[in-house]
Amino acid sequence: MALHTHDDVLATGQGTGIDNKSQAHIRVWRADDLTTLAVIGQGKLESDIVGAVFSWEGSMMMILEGLQDTVLSLWDWQNDMEVTRST
């Protein structure tokens, strides 16, 4: 779970599930009423989410996925756009 630095917003990582039928993604929510603001990486993230953090100004999100084959990626979360990734 990640908390936005300035707004009342949080993000949670959703895994692929036991049967790998679900797609890993990050869901960004309003903290006060749990309205979904964004879904990040659905169909793009390849394995379970290990961690996520908003940038200080809040426009970007760093996502760590995978326990064995770890990938670190930077996202423009409001536009569901991956900026860069490192394996």
Name the strand (E) or helix (H) holding 10.
strand 9-14
For residue 20, pLDDT over 80 is answered with no
Residue-wise pLDDT tens digits, 48-86 = 899 999 999 999 999 999 877 899 999 999 999 999 999
State phi, psi for 77 to the nearest 5 degrees: -70, -30
CA 85 to chain centre: 13
In the 8-state DSSP scheme, what is residue 69?
Answer: S
- Round to whole Å and give the CA distance between 22 and 58: 27
